[in-house]
Chain A
Amino acid sequence: MIALRDIHKRYARVHAVRGVSLEIPKGQVVGILGPNGAGKSTTIRMIAGAIPPTEGSVSLDGLDSVGDSVAVRRCIGYLPEANPLYPEMRVIDYLRYRTRLFAMPRSGRSSAIQHAMERCKVDDMARRRIGALSKGYRQRVGLAAALLHDPPVLILDEPTSGLDPAQIAETRSLITELAGDRTMLLVSHVLPEVEKTCDRIIVFAAGTVRADGAPSELMKTGTPRFTVECSAGLKEALGSVPGVASVETEHLKDGFERHAITGAPDADPREALFEKAKGTGVTLRELKREVEPLERFYLRLVERAQREDAR
């Protein structure tokens, strides 16, 4: 389990991360979202052991990221945002170099390299210079390097950044494959990518965690909205249902009405709406809760955070 306890990161003039506490259980795939400068990359760099927190602690299975730094780094596969590689090296030489950095047993190095190259589909590029590869292939080489020592924790910082749509789709399916039973932290600006891949989403803004939960749960946290579609005659009755804040009605061509209902905060008046429809004798053909798209939820959250930060 990864545990962050009240971590702060301060630079000369910037307080980049402000008291973040999180627990990430083993095997969870976590998407980390946030605008530029929100503190998400700084946080994962602290988890990866690239930088220490100014205050607080980061631990992995009880091992402290500062005190037991080497043991922690051995458990983590990390693909930084810019995917830095050595362009003059051949793919296989680079992976061989990484096996030595991780002090992998000599006998298992070749098979580990072959396995990582096959998983990331770069085995046909093994003898090519990294600098001569396309961006998509370079991203795969970075992923293969992160996977090489079969780490239980994989941290990927914007793995699809700068890729074309086809490459994004390829990399996304690769990431889904790689997740398996690993703990994975995925930093991304691509909301559908996170929504499809992750069990949990953490939204950062202004150096703090603004939202944390399963994608489906997060999308329910906005103002509750419901749709009722029924035969005419229910409009006046709807306003008196407890938990209903406002109703907008649209008359449909087939004589039915569609009522867009805004609920009171934290209210779920669906059962009461059903009983009201039943009591008035109208024909009810649809009653559903509208789920707020992740994008709208995210933008609302970030705007609020920016407003608060500006104050």
Chain B
Amino acid sequence: MSFANFLDYHHFPVYSIMVLFLGAFLIVLFGKNKFMRNLLAFLAVSISLACIVALVKPVMLDGEIIAYWMGNRAVAGGYAIGIALEVDALSLFFALLISTAVFVSGIYSLQYMEHDNNVPEYYTLFLMLSGGVIGLVLSGDIFNMFIMVEILTFAAVALTAFRNKAHGALEAAFKYLVVGCIGSTCILVGIIMLYAQAHTLNFAQLSAVIPGNMNNATKLAFALLFVGFGTKAFIVPFHPLAADAHGAAPASISVLISGVLTKSGIYGLIRLTYFLFQTMNLGTFQFLLVFIGSVSMFVCVTMALAQHDFKRLLAFHSISQIGYVLAAVGLCTGLGFSAGLYHAMNHTLFKGLLFLCAGAVLHQTGTTNLDELGGLSKKMPWTTGLFLVGAFSISGLPPFNGFASKWMVYQAAYQKASETGNIGFLFVTLIALVTSVLTLASFVKVSQSVFFGRLPAKYENVKEVKGGMIFAMCLFAILCVVTGLFPSAVTKYLTEPAARAVFSVVNYIDAAMGTGYAASAMGENLPVVASFNFNELGYWSPISWLLILCIALLAVTIVAVSGKYDKVSESSEIADSKYDLFFGGEKSVYSQVGGGDLFWGFKHNWRHYFSFMHDLHSGIVNDYSLWAIVALAIVTLFIQIVL
């Protein structure tokens, strides 16, 4: 084999997984040296990212589906025995998100983790986690998916407890371990049942064979797999785990848990519902996904309003945004898929940015308690600015990326409602829009209580974080703005190919099993490729909009400045009481005016709801395990009843 063969892009999927695992093992061996460790970690994440990016052209643009058989053990006698990687546009789309998040988080870690103990172990676990997730989305084999799920779950559990002296870290990791294991077990049992029915583990072959073998056992397998991947995506009712895990984990790991782990769950759900079980009655899937998505959206955003910890708050928002993804994907239209995947990408970007900002605050002040912090904007101007970019993105203010994707989600749901005449989908649009405003409200609270407001005396000496961390945050922020400004490019080159891949199951099967296999194996079950349009209902042209806003802003500023707007009087060395804040005439220490609860009017009207939610989120792992089992029972019943 010549050297040029190694650079054939068909090998890139396996390289991108391999370098991460290889990096993990090399760091165990050579990680005592700081320079060596950082170099190895950086090389691993950047080579992996490069391999994935190099695949964009053949897979996304040319529409090739890469089926890669380990050791060349391809299909023999109609059975796919070998270990396979299969990369279509959907896999690559998720791999791209994941490796970008891993790359930025890796850069951030270099400075963020330097004062921690056991840094080599951190990088080992970090790379195991990353390799696990990329392996999961590129795998063409359901059992390997399970192995990757196990690797990533255990790496994530260990990383959650990494700062095990911190309050609650071990508890969070334990909860995650218990419920994560319930999820993994569900996946394993589901796979076993599928294997018993279809006698194969290859994803493509399963997709072809299952439609002919639809019976109670496969339906139960579906329910098990659904719940299993649901725990990985932390959708309701598994959201309390995410809150605990994010609260305890280092910020760079929160980026991975929110931007990467949840994506692996979403990926699993899409593969499960639209590939393995594509001939089941799609209407019921829609109901299930859209319903869970809407509930996740709303429940988690209200939970976020009640939080007092920066990272826990972000964790609930993370699940709330995942709800948008799930609801949009469940619509099962071209626009819906495109919107859902777009939002999944944006979720990785803005959530990553926000968690890194929270990490920066934690790194400099030692706390993420919203009630203790305040006034950091004067001390940490970069972090404040970048946080605002993230906050505007997640709340969907134009022209940031959250707006573009949420706009598509609203449209997709509304279009679906008017096409099917089902008023239920209308409420999805409604819930999505209201959730968006509640998200904005929640981030106003964070900016008020962390970056603006009064600076407590103990933070007088806080400094801005170091350049490397700012650089990592800037990468995310730039991506947030770029993907918001060019939505048509994003949809055309990234999300639409991925959405089309979901609707072309036959190509996926044929790429692995040989042309014509799908037609012969599936017979009358062969899915008709649904025609779908990407037509949008409204107009949104961010570049021209931004241009107009800039001109308007410039005009206002010029007029204002020429009118001596910037001629202000500021406090100087000589104390003058006119620069003090107004406290109703009292000295500030005697003032009765508190910041109070930011959402009092809202919470007062909803007090029964909030106290109900408070009781429900008991924080006891037994309860959460029970929820998982109840969810499994409900999904099983649902499948049995509707099919």
State whether these chains interact. no
